[in-house]
Structure 1
């Protein structure tokens, strides 16, 4: 390309220069991961080119955005002597996978007015309102999002939301839901992206006033003082401010010698105490405590009134019941509590030691009724009286519900002989135990063969000390005789009656012998298969037979029911659905209850649980194209028994291969050398032992992976007509080379709320590379409906996996500095609000809807882009407006997050810009004001302009340096007459200082004759430079042979040339005024102005 500079004035090299610059710009956009591709509709914006043989076809597409019409200027020229090796084939943009980034935004306005106090991002909200936090993520593939919340040592996970659900929504938020919320985004690339925001929930409860009195009395009555303290407390966030009133009089510290207002130590603003010293007659009055949080978040003040009289006194009460109250189950119990003093009249409440009153209880005034009481409802019940004077009064009583349970016995042979058997002539003790409530009502009686038995020298009946063994009675038989053999019965009862007695029979005879435990033959070791029901058995002999206790003998581990021991009355332990973890030794042993009180007998049973082989991989999906090899491996991890293991490979129940494992191998492999159509399907490898089979499954398929939607498309949504919109759908293909080439995509579209799908095929005529970005423009989408998009790749195998995303029409409402742009095209006007305290309002307007009776010689004829359908905001200065009337338009709040952890020391800079139109002989003033939030809301001037500025749109930019959350106010002031309309459009807010636009390179002259075309056709160029300052510059190009006029623009390194090779092209152009919008650029190059 060395010919570029030498022959710049020739058309071929002008054209080639354009092409080379375009490639450079495209590569730059590719590095920045911006949307770009080459082809017939190519790159960069609104420019396309195509190389065919030795001819260059260049197509400039100049788009009139408002009418959606395309105007074309074509060049075609022989290209015999200038080579373009780097343009010989189309260039495809590669979108590389990108790790996630994340940012949290919130809907609504934060209501905190002191944000500069915080060293972190804080969002404040009133209790009961709806919290909505949105996690904005970038990255490809689309990151998965998870919300978590921490508050001190408590962590609550709210949701593991899907990729489409980025919003955390909490309706009617509670104060306990305040805390730090984290948004975590991850897509498997790099480290997860995590951002957090602290949510502060503001609230104010009704205040409560408590009164405390102190009466001091000196000796001999020389001095007497009665002092009253009124304490006001209200729960709130932020801290509350208190104020006291006596009647209508405001009480302040020092306003009355008999009144002192102070804050106790270590309370941190939680309360304010009003101290009335040595009460005077005027001190008996109504006192009001007003709690205020200074109307933050719109929370109103709350107040409470307390009447202080000479009868004010703390409460006293009396219970009209006994303590304790002993009742039988099923009885109805009524507890009565009355007040005996207190002013104001106390309020009575009942509380229980069981945390809450029984569900069936009834409270009426001071009476608590418990119908059909049960043992679970027994406990301490308290009556509490409170009137906020002094301490609450409390009286308690205990309800005891009679009960008898857990009757058991044991036999103790003669302790003076080392023999566990009962023998004639020796001592035998029979012990009987029950659990009784109340224990003092427990009585025992003994029977022998049904006849009452009384204590004697040989038959000694005793009762054990309740502190040692409560509820226990003993029968000692001294010098056992043959006539003592028989059945002894222990009878337990309660004195109050109403509870059934418990009877326990114990047989003493020559056959009464201590127990013995054995394991039946063939029952240990016991072999079972996983999932079976097994019974471990120990045979117990002896009379009486004791309870058997089962536990693990090989390790400290719980039994199947979760307890460390299990009881069995027949010596059998039954385990349902036995698992491999239950393999081991189990101990059975006798207990002392219902048997002999001797050393426990025990035995051990071994349990072996067999289980089928555990294999990997259990399920594997293998995607392959035709003609490629496939290798499948199934590995054994563990099995019991581990030998002998057999394997078999099947395809859809058709046996492919079988064999056995040898001692050195723990895996088997099956290989397909070249996959054909019959080779697709489900392959199964069964690894078999005595207990069953483990299965590896391999799904071999030619199904394509799902496409991955690209969510970071720049400006994907556009509006063609008022009722429809378009959307640029972009995606990359996951692992496109894993299967056969993708020949097409099937796109399904369904309007949300409807059942019907519309489908279309998008053909693909080439091989898709990994990371290649594909684009399909959707048109005719109905505004403001949302649509579900289903994209399915198609190969020779058939349909692949689908991907679904939701396309939603929405007005872009950015409230973070650096991303705000508002052109007032939508009715919500980007959350701008009208000031309620001004004289009149701004009006959203367009030239197409303008009233025919509008005031001439003032106001714009279109929006900033020149469209009559575009909207802007303006002030109408016709009557009844008067000179000096103000209209104020207030922006949404913008958050300023301090980068310094100790607060904002160097305020960040932002560039606030907007276009204005101030045309008319009575133009007043347009002001831009910076409104910051702090302890007091401050408002300062940022920019101002007055008077007629001509019938054109101009841009204003001003650097601002806020130190806290801020708003920008656009204030229009009416001039001396009706021809004073002021309009604004395209409001932006960008991070960083404002920069002046670069000077245009041909500003040294206003006219040049340029030899542009080899046909000898000349044009006269007039360049107008507008220094507003502005990033928008334009040149007006006037044809020498005609009066037609049109405009051209430049952006970045893109070059826009407006010219023609013949009159035919001018006729095709139609001589319309062509305009396009430029937001930012680095340099401008107007080729018609660079020639000689």
Structure 2
């Protein structure tokens, strides 16, 4: 045993001398992916490091750091850590030209090195959406979406009203980046004017669930439509009527024309754009009024038949659904203007509205108002009394008729009884033979 130990130590020393310094040292790296403009960290892991020289080089084999000391004047590279276990550098504002293999070298008698591959991705920018030609109602529109720069190639999708549209996509590689385009076609109508179509671009350079989008507002041109709206439904002599021509169209008609059948407009008429004003109406203003509008896609016309009625003089309105057995409590709303005056008598459950029309220049007579207001309840009471008298007369006539009918029935019954008694007396006086003869006579 002692002899064996004597030979063991010299063998260990010979092995150590043969191995030399740096024996068993290793270096390890990891690949890194970063988006353009982002920050990347390149790490070299050291095993059994004994203080040997460590050198880090870029893909062009330019030395960035020599044993912890900056060798290349590029401030985007910073030494974050230098320890016996690892060397870590930080790259900010990553660019496509930074992409490639970064060398981690450990200089010993036997040089050890590993390569950390840096991959730079390019996120798509906001897509560029254009229309090939002007969209017209009933036709087709073609839209194009372009992402000029992305890596890897961007995936393009079309959406309209939250529904995906099927487009045709093509791509072209320009150096390290891709240019991707997509087109879509669909038919449009006037209701599609102002609608939104979205082009969406995605690739791995964007965070998960994120995308770049561009919205395009459809501009669909169509022929005009026209419709006339009147300021009031019923017009009378002396009223002022305003007609409005509601026009739609794309492009919007810039001129609207007013006409009255085959006649010219009244001299008092004022036509300004979409509005026609007819003051102081008279029956001679009756007729069919038209408004016309046009654009490069068509022509539209709307009609309005004007009928001017005679002025109203007296109108009474009785509101139904109210009880008439209550007292009138108050009088309200007395209005007077240039044409006439209006009074309204209201009760809790009954309302009566009376309108007196007056000629221009006449003065209102407040006494007439009071008289009309007080006479209305008496008229109602008088009507009720007349109805009661009529009902009483009907009842009396019915009673007399029933009495006469009963009396006539009684007299008829008495006459029938006397006839029967006479026949019985005759039979008794004439005996049975006579009775038989009478029976034969009746047969």
TM (norm. structure 2) is 0.38
TM (norm. structure 1) is 0.17
Q: Which has the higher contact order (CA 8 A, sep 6+)?
A: 2
